Every structure is written in structure tokens, then in C-alpha cells.
Amino acid sequence: MELLIDCIPCLLRQSLEAARIATDKKEIHNKIMKDTIQLLSDFDQYKNSPQLAKEIHNLVKNETGNPDPYQQIKNRDLQAARDLYPFLKDFLQRKENSIYWALKVAAVGNNLDAAVYSNPELEKSIIRELEKEFTICDLDLFTKKLQQAKNILIIGDNTGETIFDRVMLESFPDAAITYGVREEPIINDVTEIEAMDSGLNTVARVMSTGCSSPGTILADCSPEFIDIYNKSDVIISKGQGNFEALSGEKGNLFFLLKAKCPAIAEKFHVKINDYIFRYENAKY
């Protein structure tokens, strides 16, 4: 998906948020904001939002000397998701169309970004989101491909979602499953460390994509990952960042996400906060 001018204010906000998480020194905040504005002034040199976001977050890391500003947040998200694991398993066991609801469980995991982390409130929030159905769902095509699939690839997104993704994968038929993660820390996205901590290695082969952007840009991925990508019978791309990076790419590609901003909602012709499961070759 092309970089839209609507993305620029959001990227500027992300830069300030990351700077404040990484350090409490206001003079560094000011320096990061000035440098970010300079980067954003040349936004038309970037192909998509994840490509520009990578430059901004690398700037934050370099200026603050903090290689993983969101580490504590990732740890918090992962623990909150671990606490929900028994509830999620029970929810899925009570549903008849297990594949549909397994996909929905994985999609709902993205809500941990903004959740309130007292367990009763978090569980109530997740219950409300789980009961919402997909606005767009290419389930029949996916089910057909899944039944025939020998190789499945999941491209992960945020750290907290990994537990939700694990619940989804535990309901899939037997196949060789690979779970792709970021090469190094970027925002709160999942790396190999968090994926292993979530237990995803019990249901999938966890591997780095070789890409460090907050969205999987195939041109930046390792040859090993590209080989897996090309051989996969089913690919599930999680979240908005991966959609922005992979939209228009070839492959047996399904996008699983929640529309969190007007640009994504408009792209799919849905409302903000709607859930989407869409095959890439389908017309929007």
C-alpha cells in the first residue's frame, strides 16, 4: 500500500511517543522531533509507511541509545495475553465453526495495544471484541486452501498477539507451520525472543523474516524467508503494518487485521474498528 499523506501526522506522533518511552530527557525529545520532521519532509521518497517508520524508530534508538524502547511494554502485553490463554482456549472450544473463530481470536489479539491491564476489565474488553463478527471474511476460500495446505506461513505483528496466534494455530490441521517475526526490535512488534516466550515454538517453526521494519517488506527479507514465503500454500499476514508492506505482493496471501485508522478503513470500504480477513487477489 502506498504511503499516504494521512500517515504523516501518525508517524510524527509515533516518534514523540517512542522518544518519551525511551528517555525522559526533554532535550533529546526536541532533537528527535526536529530530525523526524526533516525525515517526514521527504516522505515521498518512501514506498510505504513501514519503510519510513523504520527510519524514524531507528533515529529514536540512535539518539537515546536504547535499542528496544518498548521492551517493558512488550513484557506487559505478553503477560496479559498469557493470563488470557485458558479463557481463549475455552472460548474456542465452545464455538462450532472453529476455523472462523480461531481467525477471530487471532484478529482480536491486536486490541492489547490499547487495553486496560487489570484482568477483569481486559477480559470484558476481549469478550466484547470476540463476539463481533468479521465485516469482510473470505472464509470459504481460506478453508479450502487450508484443508489442502502442506506449508503454512504466519507473518506476526505485535508481541501481545502471539498468544492469540498460538490459540489459532493449535486449532489448525496438521501442516508445516512457520511463524515469521521481525529481525530486531521495532516498536512493540514480535521478535524471536518474544515468540519463543509465548510458546509459539510448540506449534510452529519461529524464524526471522530478516526485515526490521514494522511491516514485512519482501525486498528487505532474507533469502531463506523468501523461499518459505514462495513455497507456502497459505500465508496469513497479521495487522496493518504488514498489510501496508505486503499489499500488492504475489502469493497465497490473506490479510488478517482490524481497521484502526481512516486510511485502512477506506482501503477496504469498512468502518474504523471493523475486522477484516481478505484474500489479496480479491477486489476491494
Residue 13's CATH number = 1.10.8
pLDDT score at 32: 97
Domain ranges, residue 199: 71-279
* 2 part of a folded domain: no
Same domain? For 167 and 221 the reply is yes
State the DSSP code for 154: E
Same domain? For 50 and 102 the reply is no
Same domain? For 130 and 241 the reply is yes
Domain boundary among 64, 90, 110: 64
What's the N-to-C CA distance of the chain in angstroms?
Answer: 13
* 114 part of a folded domain: yes
State the DSSP code for 2: P
- What are residue 155's DSSP bridge partners? 180, 237
pLDDT digit of tens for each residue in the chain (284 aa)?
888 888 999 999 999 999 999 999 999 999 999 999 999 999 989 989 999 999 999 999 999 999 999 999 999 999 989 999 999 999 999 988 889 999 999 999 988 764 334 455 677 888 889 999 999 999 999 999 999 999 999 999 999 999 999 999 999 988 999 999 999 999 999 999 999 999 999 999 999 999 999 999 999 999 999 999 999 999 999 999 999 999 999 889 999 999 998 999 999 999 999 999 999 876 54
Q: Give the burial class of 264: count Cβ atoms within 10 A of its Cβ; 0-12 exposed, 13-18 middle, 19 or more buried.
A: buried
Same domain? For 213 and 272 the reply is yes
Nearest to 91 by CA among 161, 172, 167, 203: 167
pLDDT score at 124: 81
Same domain? For 140 and 41 the reply is no
* 284 part of a folded domain: no
In sequence order, the 6+-apart residues with CB closer than 8 A to the CB of 256 are 103, 106, 107, 236, 237, 238, 239, 276, 277
* 156 part of a folded domain: yes
* Structural domains counted in the chain: 2
**Inter-helix orientation angle 71-93/119-131, to 10°:** 60
Same domain? For 29 and 98 the reply is no
Same domain? For 45 and 98 the reply is no
What CA–CA distances, in Å, run from 190 to 14, 27, 74, 75? 17, 30, 8, 11
Same domain? For 43 and 86 the reply is no
Q: For the chain, what's the residue count?
A: 284
The region that residue 209 occupies, defined by phi over 0 for left and psi between -120 and 50 for alpha, beta otherwise, is alpha
The region that residue 191 occupies, defined by phi over 0 for left and psi between -120 and 50 for alpha, beta otherwise, is beta
